A = this chain, B = another copy of it.
C-alpha cells in the first residue's frame, strides 16, 4: 500500500520530520475513523512509514492519540498515579492531578480544545468519546473494580469544575486554592469510587 513516489525527497526515517508526519497522519486518521477504529497500521500507511517506526515513537495507540492532540499527559501516565497508593487517598490524588494538569494554560489548552471540538462537531465528539472511555475511564474503573457509571459521574464532576473554573471563570471557584477544591471535591470522588 505504500507509494514511495509520494514520499518527500531526502526525508530519512527517524528524523524529527518523520515523527511530525506520523502525528499529522494520526490526526487525520483519528478524525476520520474515530479512536476505536484507527489502527497503528492504518496510521503508518497514511504517514507512509513502516508500522515498526510508529511503534518506536509511540508505545500505544492511546499514547499516539495523546501526542497527536498535544495532551499534557497520557493514560499510561495517569493510570499508575491513580491506581497506586492507599485506596482511601485515591480521590485526593486524582483531584490534585487534574487540578495541576489544568492549572497551566499550556497543558490545559489542548484539553479544552478537544472538549470544544467535541461540543461543536459530532465526528470530534465520537473520537473524544471513544478515547476517553476506552483508553482512560474504563481502564481506571476496571482496575479499581468500580462500575463504569460511577467513574463517569466522577468525570462529570471534574470536567464541570474545570469548565467552571477555567473556561467560564465563575467566581469564587476560579480563584479557589487547590487545597480548598480538594477538600470540597475529594469526598465526592471518593464516594463514587466506594462500592
Contacts and interface: CB of A to CB of B under 8 A. Distances in A.
B120 A116 contact: yes
Given A116-B120, A150-B184, A180-B149, A125 B168 contact: yes
A176 interface: yes
A136 to B, nearest CB: 11
Contacts of A157: 153, 156-157, 160, 188
A121 B148 CA distance: 33
A157 to B, nearest CB: 5
Nearest to A185: B153
Given A163-B159, A169-B129, A170-B132, A153 B119 contact: no
A46 to B, nearest CB: 26
Interface string A151-195: 011011111110111011111110010001100110110011000
Given A120-B120, A171-B133, A156 B149 contact: no
Contact of A118 (B152, B160, B168): B168
A35 interface: no
Given A115-B119, A116-B120, A167-B119, A173 B152 contact: yes
Contacts of A169: 125, 129
B173 A156 contact: yes
A128 interface: yes
Contacts of A184: 149-150, 153, 192
Contacts of A129: 168-170
Given A153-B184, A156-B157, A188-B188, 12 more contacts: A119-B167, A133-B170, A133-B171, A148-B172, A149-B180, A150-B184, A152-B173, A153-B157, A155-B164, A157-B157, A157-B188, A187-B191
